Amino acid sequence: MSTYLVTGVAGFIGSHTARALLDQGHRVVGIDNLNDYYDVRLKDHRLDLLLGGEGRRVGRSASESFFQSGDWSHGTFSFAAIDVIDAESITNLFGKYSFDAVINLAARAGVRYSVEHPEVYASTNVSGAVNLLQAMQKAGVKKYILASSSSLYAGAETPFRESFDVNRPLSPYAASKLGAEAMAAAFHHLHGIDVSVLRYFTVYGPASRPDMSPLRFLKWIDEGTPITLYGDGSQTRDFTYIDDIVAGTIAALRPLGYEVINLGGGNEPLAIRDMIAGFEKELGKKALIDEQPFHAGDMKSTQADVSKAADLLNWAPKISPAEGFKRTVEWYLANRSWLKDIEL
Ligand SMILES: NC(=O)c1ccc[n+]([C@@H]2O[C@H](COP(=O)([O-])OP(=O)(O)OC[C@H]3O[C@@H](n4cnc5c(N)ncnc54)[C@H](O)[C@@H]3O)[C@@H](O)[C@H]2O)c1
């Protein structure tokens, strides 16, 4: 049994990663600051499932978490509401537990919001990551996984390869991920911390983020609300199903030195319109579309070259978009009664 620190554990990818590690018999210590960048009841839902509930212990509003105070645990899972920028709490945490690895998924995500609030991205995504690396160095924790992003490739030709020059990011979000990657490289060089940087590509699945198109579009189609679509929907994304991302993340716990690895769908990238059609089919409902001008900060298309993940991690995505959309809709329908109150 290993002990892992998962930051951002109430988040979409963090909660699924923690679930898989627990199912594999490991101990998981999870932290999250439960911020209200998006409706915190989704974070509560995910945490409640990890804490042995049925996903129904949620706060009273979009900004008030049920799990904000106190220490929570269930079986080999423990949770505390800790901010990664709070260096003292991070140090205390490393004094309390002996971690085999740190999986750093805590971040401000989302390109558009980063344009308005770059300072939040710099503090959580870069300074927060440095706090973790310093605590690891002092405590002698040797393995670090950093969630990075396909946003670093914005403006490049597809398919995106890890060897591309990404030194001119197009958004504060991408810049903050580049900063976090660079800090991890420095700690690898100076202190021998073994680093896997994972550049994720448009992750979707059950309990995904309400600021990303899959959950928004699904809810809007179901509720008969017009979908706000930026552009004509021909923009493509390399959608990656959450279980594939989790499998790749856990595979990346092996010693690698310092490596940057794409984790993407590896299929033909899918047009946003095709995702909408997939949801329409599963729901048996037709989408209403409100077309808006294409956003300057958005990417026209993303596509991962995942050959490095195949070589180093023996990893390949397994879930097709059709299967992934079906599973996502199944989760949505099973949780529709409380999802109707979630703010988008
Ligand atoms: N979902 C995707 O498609 C995608 C794509 C590329 C990269 N990523 C990266 O993967 C990671 C996880 O993303 P996600 O989709 O699960 O997002 P998410 O927002 O659902 O999860 C991130 C979690 O981190 C927490 N957090 C934010 N700031 C914090 C802080 N200062 N201290 C402690 N916790 C904090 C949030 O409350 C949230 O629960 C992020 O690093 C994100 O940038 C995600």
Of the candidates 57, 18, 19, 17, which has an alpha carbon nearest to the alpha carbon of residue 40?
57
> Which has the minimum average pLDDT: 8-17, 28-37, 229-238?
229-238
Q: How far apart are the first and last CA of the chain?
A: 39
> How would residue 328 be classed by pLDDT, with cut points 50, 70 and 90?
very high
Residue 224: CB atoms within 10 Å? 10
- Cα–Cα distance between 338 and 46 in angstroms, integer? 13
Of all protein residues, the one whose alpha carbon is nearest to atom 15 of ligand 1 is 12
Pocket test for ligand 1, best of 103, 124, 200, 261 (most atoms within 8 A of CB): 200
Rounded to a whole number of angstroms, the CA Rg of the chain reads 19
Give the pLDDT of residue 34.
Answer: 98
Domain map (residue ranges) of the chain: 3-203+240-266+303-318
Ligand 1 centroid to 102 CA: how many Å? Answer: 15
At 89-148, the pLDDT tens digits run: 999 999 999 999 999 999 999 888 999 999 999 999 999 999 999 999 999 999 999 999
Give the pLDDT of residue 172.
Answer: 97
- Cα–Cα distance between 100 and 218 in angstroms, integer? 38
At 83-105, the pLDDT tens digits run: 999 999 999 999 999 999 999 99
Mean pLDDT of 319-328: 94
What is the pTM (predicted TM-score) of this model? 0.97
For 3-203+240-266+303-318, CATH number out of 3.40.50.170, 3.40.50.720, 3.90.930.12, 3.40.50.12160 equals 3.40.50.720
Residue 242, sorted as left (phi over 0), alpha (psi -120 to 50) or beta, turns out to be alpha
Ligand 1 centroid to 284 CA: how many Å? Answer: 32
Of all protein residues, the one whose alpha carbon is nearest to atom 34 of ligand 1 is 32
- Cα–Cα distance between 150 and 298 in angstroms, integer? 12
pLDDT score of 12 more than 80: yes
* Contact 8 CB / ligand 1 (< 6 Å): yes
Query: Which residue(s) pair with 31 in the sheet?
Result: 7, 80
Residue 139: CB atoms within 10 Å? 16
At 203-248, the pLDDT tens digits run: 999 999 999 999 999 999 999 999 999 999 999 999 999 999 999 9
> Which of these is catalytic: 173, 200, 204, 332?
173
pLDDT score of 342 more than 70: yes
In the predicted model, what is the mean pLDDT of the chain? 96
- Cα–Cα distance between 84 and 94 in angstroms, integer? 12
Whether 173 is catalytic: yes
Pocket test for ligand 1, best of 33, 102, 299 (most atoms within 8 A of CB): 33
* Contact 109 CB / ligand 1 (< 6 Å): yes
- Which whole-number Å values give the CA distances from 198 to 18, 178, 207, 217, in the listed order? 17, 12, 21, 27
Is 169 within 8 Å of 178 (Cβ atoms)? yes
pLDDT score of 295 more than 90: no
Nearest atom within ligand 1 for CA of residue 106: 24
Give the pLDDT of residue 200.
Answer: 98
Mean pLDDT of 309-330: 96
pLDDT score of 298 more than 80: no
pLDDT score of 325 more than 90: yes
Give the pLDDT of residue 297.
Answer: 67
- Helix axis angle, 172-191 to 129-139, nearest 10°: 10
Of all protein residues, the one whose alpha carbon is nearest to atom 37 of ligand 1 is 34
pLDDT score of 296 more than 80: no
